[in-house]
Chain A
């Protein structure tokens, strides 16, 4: 019988891999977005709104935000695992982190498609 705490470090490879996949997505989006800001900087509100209303940039932005949030989940969870030793407190902090990140995701969808 393997005894593992529900907040232990046993999600290894999948999260390790997803942390890297999301990182690559963020690098690509960062370069793309920097290119847009430098290449054809939005001249005002109309341009800015236009930029995020397209069927290309809008879903791409959501993909970027989703990557940020999942990446943040793994990173913040690692921080709790390193510094918070009590299972109850760690579970509480991880739960709060997860809820906050899910809220951010829903908020992002509302912003981009609202």
Chain B
């Protein structure tokens, strides 16, 4: 037997696949859950509080926000926020169900992740159709 040689540890290849499209559905759901949460913290919470304040303070403020929300560009931005809320909402409910061990098998977890991704977009489309 030869004595162990003091070789430097072998360089192992690293596979960091940062392409979101290659993530499995639960991974995609998870990163969108995080991104939507961050967006809502940074922008949506202060924006909604400001809107609530202006719209409750005076009728002029109320009408101002109403007319802004009828602008197509504002509607488009609103849809982005609505998707953030809906995705976070449905993904959160899925996590709550996983917490009580509902649908925890690999197949059902992947199916529910796909359902959440679809529901978020579908709900946004429905609200979008109602807005227009």
- Measured CB to CB, the residues of A under 8 A from B are 20, 23-24, 26-27, 30, 44-45, 48-49, 52, 68-69, 72, 75-76, 79, 104, 107-108, 111, 114
Contacts and interface: CB of A to CB of B under 8 A. Distances in A.
A31 to B, nearest CB: 10
Closest 5 CB pairs of A and B: A45-B62, A45-B59, A111-B53, A75-B37, A72-B41
Interface stretch (B20-28, B88-96, B109-117): B88-96
A24 B59 CA distance: 33
Contacts of B56: 48-49, 52, 111
A71 B46 CA distance: 15
Given A26-B89, A30-B89, A45-B63, 12 more contacts: A27-B89, A27-B92, A45-B55, A48-B56, A48-B62, A72-B37, A72-B41, A72-B45, A75-B41, A76-B37, A107-B53, A111-B52
Chain B residues touching A, majority SS: helix
Contact of B99 (A20, A69, A104, A108): A20
Nearest to A73: B41
Interface string B17-57: 00000000000000000100110110001100100110111
Contacts of A23: 92, 96
A76 B38 contact: yes
Contacts of B92: 23, 27
Contacts of A27: 89, 92-93
Given A45-B62, A76-B38, A104-B46, A20 B52 contact: no
